Amino acid sequence: MNQPTIVVEEYIQAIYALAAHGKMVKAVHLSDKLGSSPSTVHSTLSRMQRDDLILFDEKKNILLSDKGSRLANQLARRHRLVETFLCDHLGIPWQEVHQHAHILEHGLTPLIEEKLYLFLGSPKFCPHGTPFPGEDSALPEKMITLDQVQAGQRFKVILIDESLEDNKELMRYFWEHQIKPQAIHQLSNINIITQSLQLSSPEGETHIPFEVAPKIGVLLL
Ligand SMILES: [Zn+2]
Ligand SMILES: [Zn+2]
């Protein structure tokens, strides 16, 4: 097969990201996520099936084939490498590297990927804390999610779930309030009225909506 096109790579990434949350992936989810018409999605998926990157089950759910999974892992690794490079070496803001990496990652050859990995000192996590493929065990065993923290407890932020990285406003808010790996906060109040968790740190107060809390990994101190 020829090299996959950028469009195909983006579909693979979208399927991988949706499936990572235990979701059954259907064509309609891809058209929502990628902003493509149903007919475009349909014809791209047909090509991907022909090239043995995806399969359909009897309920029309889309599954990655072994070959598709290998490509997805490779793309995830490239994405996290480029994010790390942009953040640590080019000074691109932490909350923006995701968008830039999405463009740059498609241009990496295997040699650049390998050299970049060594140049960066064999990183295990992207700047938002997501482990590289195969490095899941690098996350602390005792990591819990923010919704499991009780009022009064102090914790260190470990992971901002990758699904939140697309939300630019939220990422900027996280950055401004230091909701990022290694930052330390205390859960000062659980506010049922505003449906949010109030955090405090020396830098000030932060409010995290209940719905976002399960997507933030933390370690109790
Ligand atoms: Zn990202
Ligand atoms: Zn990231």
Residue 163 alpha carbon to ligand 2 centre in Å:
9
Residue 164 alpha carbon to ligand 1 centre in Å:
9
Residue 98 alpha carbon to ligand 1 centre in Å:
4
Residue 166 alpha carbon to ligand 1 centre in Å:
8
The confidence band for 22, taking pLDDT boundaries of 50, 70 and 90, is confident
Residue 34 alpha carbon to ligand 2 centre in Å:
19
Identify the DSSP state of 105: G
Q: Give the pTM.
A: 0.88
Whether pLDDT at 112 is above 90: yes
Is the CB of residue 215 less than 8 Å from the CB of residue 160?
A: yes
Nearest to residue 198, comparing CAs of 208, 183, 212?
Answer: 208
Residue 149 alpha carbon to ligand 1 centre in Å:
26
pLDDT for residue 20: 82
List, in order of start, the domains of the chain with CATH numbers.
Answer: 6-64 (1.10.10.10), 69-138 (1.10.10.10), 144-220 (2.30.30.90)
* Mean pLDDT calculated for residue range 163-173: 94
Is the CB of residue 171 less than 8 Å from the CB of residue 207?
A: no
Residue 192 alpha carbon to ligand 1 centre in Å:
31
Q: How far apart are CA 170 and CA 195, in angstroms?
A: 16
Least confident of 9-13, 134-138, 144-148, 189-193: 134-138
Whether pLDDT at 4 is above 90: no
pLDDT in tens, 41-63: 999 999 999 999 999 999 999 99
Whether pLDDT at 209 is above 60: yes
How does the average pLDDT of the chain come out, rounded? 93
Ligand nearest to the CA of 84: 2
Q: How far apart are CA 81 and CA 62, in angstroms?
A: 27
Residue 106 alpha carbon to ligand 1 centre in Å:
13
Ligand nearest to the CA of 129: 2
pLDDT for residue 8: 93
